[in-house]
Structure 1
Amino acid sequence: MSYKTINWDIIEDELDEYVWDKATAQYWLDTRVPVSNDLRDWRTLSGTEKSVINRVVGGLALLDTLQSEEGVDVMRPDVRTRKEAAVLNDFLMMESIHAKSYGTILTSLNDQATVDEVFKWMNNNPRMQYKAKRINDIYQTGNNLEKKVASVFLEGVLYYTNFFTPLWYRGNNKLANLSEVIKLVIRDESVHGTYLGYKFQLGYNELSATEQKTFKKWMDELLDDLLENEFAFTEEVYAPIGLAEDVKQFVHYNANKALQNMGFESRFPNAEIKDINPIVMNGISTETANHDFFSQVGAGYLMGNAEAMSSGDYDF
């Protein structure tokens, strides 16, 4: 059997090349964002505030390590087109950059002993380990559709508990560079979630009505289980600074968005954009002094936008 080269002139799915162009246009590196310039703000924070930020950034490092080492790779055997495999290659690279960027944040703002303690905490916290194991179990044993659901829930729901803090401080005009890294990650995850949600829909629509009903029940139970653990984690991390309920609302909003990416109705009422803490929304929409990356794109967010992209780019 001869091996055939990929021919990019052949269109199997128009969205593949569209997402490839968009994802590669968004390429960035953590070294381009001077997080150490946030040290002046960092020194004004209390020890409790620093601990919360370190833990949520550390949590993101753990989850993105999982995504870069397992989450993207396990979907490669189930691609529908060869260009889809190329798109996943880009996603994999960016997940590695995301994981590294969180380490850059921690080392830019803390001494080595503190960084070591944060890594020890995130590698042993029961709530962090539960969600990582729950998602990875699906990656290792689930079918094609289950893996995509796990990925969309990880990137589109569980990450947002940890995204909340940097955006909240940016809304308070602090930690501009840290929040810029988070915005760049959010920009990438928007593309990943939308694309995988679309690919999920192609497979889901091939199921019979009975199979769809059974699968949706599994999805709902998975989401409920993940959110139960996530909200316990939220109480543990955010209660000391009084933001736990605001974080839960933010996560519910993004859970609705993740479901919509996969073609389903929202599950959580009273979790619309108007219900989100306005300080966080201000943090999302605030431009930074270092780059002119930010303009409005899809899903109710103000997210990073590379120069070649337009405002409706995520509305596939």
Structure 2
Amino acid sequence: MTKYAAYEAVNWNNIEDAIDKITYEKLTEQFWLSTRMPVSKDRSDWTKLPEEEKRLVEKVFGGLTMLDTLQSESGIDALRKDAKTQHEIAVLNNIQFMESEHARSYSSIFSTLNTKKEIEEIFRWAREDDYLQIKAQIIDDIYSNGSALQKKVASVFLESFLFYSGFYTPLYYLGRAKLINVAEVIKLIIRDESAHGAYIGYKFKVGFNQLSDSEKEEIKTWTYSLLYKLYENEVKYTESIYDKVGWTEDVKVFLRYNANKALMNLGLAPLFPDTADDVNPIVINGLSTGTTNHDFFSTVGNGYLLSVVEDMSESDYDY
């Protein structure tokens, strides 16, 4: 007999939940790195943007960097504590790495388009913006103190809803054939986040279905209350960064549309009346545009072999 504790080796030939295997394979097939993206090709577009729009781009990417950092440093650790299988832990490990890569992607964009002084200002703004800090604090508090299901709800709301006030801007530019390479980095991130939100939402549904009727009603009430709280703050955040360029109302529609997507990932009924038909068609067009850049000599671009971008569709949000 060994004197050591019996550590269990993960066995991928004995899968307890097929969704773990499917998701792991999907995420590894989607693997990409920000260093392979030719963002420098967008410098000409960047120099032509009005100053107000440059500041907007900087803020939305600064905010997204902070939220990806929160998810990689706190969120996945919190979810991992409640994992039911070793394969689920493996999926979460993959998600954690890619959240770190997403955060690195924005720094790659900043280093290409911005000066050192501008980059320092972007990160200073992210540390000091009240609305950005409030939503991060709300989510992080749930990660620290919430139940297993509450933590999953917070994660899905972060990945499937709160990111989208920032995603609107690059998708808008992509739909207008501007900052194409920057926007395609965001499309890769969106593709990842769609898979993350769907997977964690599935794990929520597994736990939710094991509850009594009264417990189900309790977590549903809590979930909708949290969404209202986050939405109220997100509206203020949106107004604070989009009012100067006049896009605020369109972004709010996009927020509500994606809030419904987050609820659908959780298996819950949509809250808002907004559908894809209500979203600015330029943004929907940007969301559904496939690979438009490929360097056949170096295979760099979002069409390179490790990461072929496909058209986004409704089904990308769901299993």
Match of 2:179 in 1: 175
Query: What's the C-alpha RMSD, in Å, of the aligned pairs?
Result: 1.2
User: How high is the TM-score relative to the length of structure 2?
Assistant: 0.93
CA contact (8 A) 2:265 2:318 kept: no
Match of 1:249 in 2: 253
* Whole-angstrom distance in 2 between the partners of 1:21 and 1:221: 35
Give the share of equivalent positions with the same residue, in percent.
Answer: 49
1:280 to 279, 283, 286: 283
Question: How far off its partner does 1:107 sit?
Answer: 1.5
Say which is worse superposed, 284-293 or 47-56, in terms of deviation. 284-293
Match of 1:193 in 2: 197
C-alpha change, 1:61 and 1:70, in structure 2 (3 Å) is: same
Deviation per residue, 1:165-187 (Å, 9 max, x gap): 00101111100011011000000
Deviation per residue, 1:11-49 (Å, 9 max, x gap): 200110010000011111110101111000001011101
Match of 1:77 in 2: 81
Question: How far off its partner does 1:265 sit?
Answer: 1.2
* Whole-angstrom distance in 2 between the partners of 1:176 and 1:285: 13
CA contact (8 A) 1:257 1:299 kept: no
Match of 1:299 in 2: 314
Deviation per residue, 1:57-114 (Å, 9 max, x gap): 0000000010010011111111111100000000000000001101111111011101
Question: How far off its partner does 1:300 sit?
Answer: 6.1
Q: Kindly indicate whether residue 91 of structure 2 is the aligned counterpart of residue 87 of structure 1.
A: yes
* Whole-angstrom distance in 2 between the partners of 1:113 and 1:210: 54
User: How high is the TM-score relative to the length of structure 1?
Assistant: 0.94
- Secondary structure in 1 matching 2:48: coil
Instruction: List aligned pairs for 1:1-316, cutoff 5 A.
Output: 1-269=5-273, 271-286=274-289, 287-290=291-294, 291-292=302-303, 293-299=308-314, 315-316=318-319
CA contact (8 A) 2:288 2:312 kept: no
Question: How far off its partner does 1:214 sit?
Answer: 1.2
CA contact (8 A) 1:285 1:294 kept: no
**AA paired with 2:70?**
L
**AA paired with 1:25?**
E
**AA paired with 1:181?**
V
**AA paired with 2:247?**
L
User: Which 5+ residue runs of structure 1 have no aligned equivalent?
Assistant: 302-313
CA contact (8 A) 1:71 1:139 kept: yes
**AA paired with 2:286?**
G
Say which is worse superposed, 253-262 or 292-301, in terms of deviation. 292-301
Question: How far off its partner does 1:298 sit?
Answer: 4.0
CA contact (8 A) 1:67 1:95 kept: yes
* Whole-angstrom distance in 2 between the partners of 1:315 and 1:223: 19
* Whole-angstrom distance in 2 between the partners of 1:53 and 1:300: 28
* Whole-angstrom distance in 1 between the partners of 2:64 and 2:140: 15
Say which is worse superposed, 135-144 or 206-215, in terms of deviation. 206-215
Question: How far off its partner does 1:215 sit?
Answer: 1.1
Question: How far off its partner does 1:153 sit?
Answer: 0.3
Question: How far off its partner does 1:295 sit?
Answer: 2.5
Say which is worse superposed, 207-216 or 282-291, in terms of deviation. 282-291
* Whole-angstrom distance in 2 between the partners of 1:88 and 1:159: 19
CA contact (8 A) 2:175 2:285 kept: yes
CA contact (8 A) 2:74 2:143 kept: yes
Question: How far off its partner does 1:315 sit?
Answer: 4.4
Question: How far off its partner does 1:4 sit?
Answer: 1.8
| Number of residue pairs the alignment of both structures matches | 303
Question: How far off its partner does 1:299 sit?
Answer: 2.0
CA contact (8 A) 2:191 2:312 kept: no
* Whole-angstrom distance in 1 between the partners of 2:279 and 2:286: 12
